[in-house]
């Protein structure tokens, strides 16, 4: 369910890495269960366990995978294009996703009202950031967000686009048609 987890799963699949998937239900607050916290004291989802190493945070996990398993690179070599990918990833990870997270949406629902949730989503996902992404990608998009290969930007965009559609029926229109892997 979590778009953050989805990002990591795309990366693992693209790189052909085997992994055991353990679902943590955020709606049931399973990330706070003692068993999960023992393994991952931070309590965030997703968390990757690679031997002795436990990593939480999708951006950190993906950069770790990129360094440790360089097959099917998720970043272009060209530094300017790489920077575009970092920017897209962080617009999604910092400016969109956190504002739509469950605790925030529950707060809006409880303190303002259920109808306010949709307005909140439109204000934060639509006006600012979809517009920003469209400007940013205008000169770079190809078949995918930053060219003709799937890169980091796509890993962040695709789950966010899907999540916005499924949770809030919001269509994030971007210049390229992002092919969902």
Of 18-26, 51-59, 141-149, 164-172, which part binds another protein (CB under 8 A)? 51-59
Closest distance to another protein from the beta carbon of 102 (Å): 13
Which residue in this structure is represented by tokens 């992404």? Answer: 133
Which residue in this structure is represented by tokens 């990129």? Answer: 66
Closest distance to another protein from the beta carbon of 44 (Å): 7
Residues numbered 66 to 85 that lie near another protein (CB under 8 A) are 67-68, 79-80, 82-83
82 vs 167 by CB, closer to another protein: 82
Nearest to 153 by CA among 174, 123, 124, 126: 174
Task: Quote the tokens at residue 7.
Answer: 């990002």
Residues numbered 82 to 111 that lie near another protein (CB under 8 A) are 82-83, 86-87, 89-91, 93-95, 97-99, 104, 108, 111
Q: Would you say how long the chain is, in residues?
A: 181
For another protein, the binding residue among 1, 56, 126, 162 (CB under 8 A) is: 56
Task: Quote the tokens at residue 3.
Answer: 């778009």
Rounded to the nearest 10 degrees, the angle between the axes of helix 152-168 and helix 3-14 is: 140
């Amino acid at each position: 369910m979590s778009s953050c987890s989805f990002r990591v799963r795309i990366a693992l699949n693209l790189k052909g890495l085997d992994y055991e998937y353990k679902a943590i239900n955020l709606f049931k607050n399973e990330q706070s269960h003692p068993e999960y916290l023992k393994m991952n004291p931070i309590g965030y989802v997703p968390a990757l366990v690679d031997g002795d190493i436990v990593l939480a945070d999708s951006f950190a996990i993906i950069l770790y995978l990129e360094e440790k398993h360089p097959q099917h690179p998720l970043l272009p070599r060209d530094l300017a294009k790489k920077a575009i990918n970092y920017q897209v990833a962080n617009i999604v990870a910092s400016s969109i996703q956190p504002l739509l997270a469950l605790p925030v949406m529950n707060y809006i629902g409880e303190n303002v009202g259920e109808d306010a949730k949709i307005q909140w989503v439109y204000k934060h996902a639509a006006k600012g950031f979809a517009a920003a992404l469209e400007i940013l990608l205008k000169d770079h998009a190809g078949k995918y967000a930053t060219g003709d290969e799937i890169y980091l930007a796509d890993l962040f965009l695709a789950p966010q686009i899907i999540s916005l559609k499924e949770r809030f029926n919001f269509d994030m229109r971007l210049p390229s048609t992002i092919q969902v892997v």
